[in-house]
Structure 1
Amino acid sequence: MTLVQTRKLGRNGPEVSAIGLGTMGMSDLYGPADDAESVATIHAALDAGVTLLDTADFYGSGANELLIARALQGRRREQVVLSVKFGSRRTPDGGFQPVGYDVSAAAVKDRLAYSLRRLGTDYVDIYRPARLNPDVPVEETVGALEEVRQAGYIRHIGLSEVGPDTLRRAAAVATISDLQIEYSMLSRGPEKAILPTTRELGIGLTAYGVLSRGLLSGHWSTARTLGPNDFRTRSPRFQSGNLQHNLRLVDALTAIAGRLEVSVAQLAIAWVAAQGDDIVALVGARRRDRLTESLGAAALELDEDTLAEIDAAVPPDAAAGDRYPSPQMVTLDSERG
């Protein structure tokens, strides 16, 4: 397996692997997963040089943090960078409450206390709100994060899915290590105003959804059946007409990948990495074979001609359908930036 190189997250953030492992699908939202295989996948990632593990306290209502704690037993804590999101509220049936995110100053400290206990650690490397609440000023949330940082419970402050104006307000309160946001060949919104702002402010970008929820994996087809708990059943990009359009874009990428003798997934991950040394790609592999494929992108360097060929095959705004259903899109400050 390719040994992953490192990148620095922002001007003042931590040094992390250029490809990180997002663990949401191991516990939530993508249908059934195998805990033993998930742990084995985390171990394989760490052995390959992956140091960044991304989770959230609401993934599986805490189950994902417990899974990571199990996987890290016997490992040196300082060799792993744990990125944790908070703020989303769940319901007993596994759903999400349709109310504002819980990102008040009191919630910052309360949610962190539970995460520290579940993860079996006395500090989190990067702690961030998953979304902001328009009724809670970002200055309040970031101010509380700075308090727990100064107390030693977190090392760095991150944000997720916020726009340029909010980034500036947050950065005026405390040092922000990185912004986590969806960024892929099919989700290029950050290029317009967000990436220029993060670069101006010295904030790194952690890209999730680099395979666009599986669309860019090269393993998707219109015949695939999803379980009732798989959130892609409600995703606009996976609805019938949109799905067919988006898979035609993947067909065009398949030809490019074939010429380079790589998979479409590797091409998609390498494309994200090629957009700047300040960008770290999160892959959501739940199995070791998918992880091995994804990490193969670390050895792939795309020249200018290939990048231009990709842009011609999948231009900006080429994807059909929003990346979330309408009720969720309106919660994204990043979409208003």
Structure 2
Amino acid sequence: MQQRALGQHGLEVSPIGLGTMGMTMAYGPGGDRDEGIATIRRAHELGVTFFDTAELYGLGKGLNEQIVGDAVAPFRDEVVIATKFGFTFDEQGRSVGTDSRPEHIREVAENSLRYLKTDVIDVLYQHRVDPDVPIEDVAGAVRALIDEGKVRYFGLSEAGPETIRRAHAVQAVSVLQTEYSVFERQVEAEVLPVVRELGIGFVAYSPLGRGFLTGDVKPAEEYDETDFRRTNPRFQGENYRRNKQAIDRLGELAEAKGITTPQLALAWLLAQGDDVVPIPGTRNQRRLEENVGAADVILTADDLAAIHEIVPEGAAGARYTEERMPVWN
């Protein structure tokens, strides 16, 4: 696949990456470790060069990063690995708060290097903004790791315009990762203009709307107790019914083009700008191949207009429950 530039500092990745969160958490019981490794290696065979993990996805124990590290070991120099810091965990591995103190950032980074079996982290993100630590201190801590050769690029996740500007003034931010999809458009008003002004690349997580845009969905109450979607507002009641109707219409549009609904949704994101890279997550190789195929889909102006008519403002319902909603500033 032709590469895309993320930011203006030399970082280049495939137009579609692979998110690995679902291999160990959030979408029901974690998958099989060997299955995860096989999926990552198949992604590499298909031309994917961008793999996204995090301390959080390994429940604070490195479980997810170890899968990624083992999977990419045979071709480490050919790919970009992104990981994240910023949480604290209880004994069960549940996140119980944010922690972006400089000393904690260094501790997490050293752990990640070990789990990933690598000498350098390509992209190190702050996973969520910590209200108790000035973003300047966070940027300074990552800058020190960059100066030491342990990190290549600095990223933020779910940060607002002011935070992005303040961080960028201390250490150049190469990438912002935030939820963005046909179903989730909040970034378009203020965040995308700022990252484009500053030359920061944009990574879209949950580009398939937590699986809603695959069309293979069911109401919240039918998901496992460990599944994120069981409490997600978009999968509940009237929101679910309205969103399912939108998905059915998008499916008809996709079918008319000879593609699948996920491919339509990912192609829509790729059409939003050459600085946008979606990272759909899957542990299923068939789904992976389908997602990667979206890189070859070209949407016409009429296609884009039809999608906008179906979902002019995104999905019905909030993307998180109120207590989990990221606060931008």
- Give the TM-score category using the shorter length: over 0.9
CA offset at residue 184 of structure 1?
0.3
CA offset at residue 114 of structure 1?
0.6
Runs of 4 or more above 3 Å deviation: 221-224
Distance 1:333 1:13 in 2: 30
The amino acid of 1:57's aligned partner reads E
Distance 1:294 1:49 in 2: 12
Distance 1:301 1:181 in 2: 24
Offset from partner CA, 1:302-331 (integer Å, 9 cap, x none): 111110110001111x412111111111xx
Q: How many residues align?
A: 326
User: Does structure 1 retain, via aligned residues, the 8 Å contact 2:128–2:157?
Assistant: yes
CA offset at residue 224 of structure 1?
8.1
Q: Tell me, yes or no, if structure 1 residue 288 matches structure 2 residue 301.
A: no
The amino acid of 1:51's aligned partner reads T
The runs of 5 or more residues in structure 2 that have no matched partner are none
User: Does structure 2 retain, via aligned residues, the 8 Å contact 1:266–1:296?
Assistant: yes
Q: Select which of 186, 190, 200 maps to 2:187.
A: 190
Calculate the aligned-residue CA RMSD, in Å: 1.3
1:251 is aligned to 248
1:39 is aligned to 37
2:56 is aligned to 58
SS in 1 for 2:216: coil
1:70 is aligned to 70
Distance 2:234 2:183 in 1: 10
Q: Tell me, yes or no, if structure 1 residue 122 matches structure 2 residue 119.
A: yes
The runs of 5 or more residues in structure 1 that have no matched partner are none
Distance 1:280 1:224 in 2: 32
Q: TM-score, normalised by structure 2?
A: 0.96
Higher relative contact order (CA 8 A, sep 6+): 1
1:216 is aligned to 213
Distance 1:240 1:219 in 2: 17
Distance 2:327 2:135 in 1: 11
The amino acid of 1:90's aligned partner reads F
CA offset at residue 29 of structure 1?
1.1
- Pick closer, same or farther for the CA change 1:103–1:304 going to 2, 3 Å: same
1:88 is aligned to 87
User: Does structure 1 retain, via aligned residues, the 8 Å contact 2:56–2:95?
Assistant: no
User: Does structure 2 retain, via aligned residues, the 8 Å contact 1:12–1:177?
Assistant: yes
CA offset at residue 13 of structure 1?
4.3
2:153 is aligned to 156
SS in 2 for 1:156: strand
Distance 1:305 1:50 in 2: 29
Distance 1:204 1:148 in 2: 20
Q: Tell me, yes or no, if structure 1 residue 326 matches structure 2 residue 307.
A: no
Q: Tell me, yes or no, if structure 1 residue 132 matches structure 2 residue 156.
A: no
Q: TM-score, normalised by structure 1?
A: 0.94
2:267 is aligned to 270
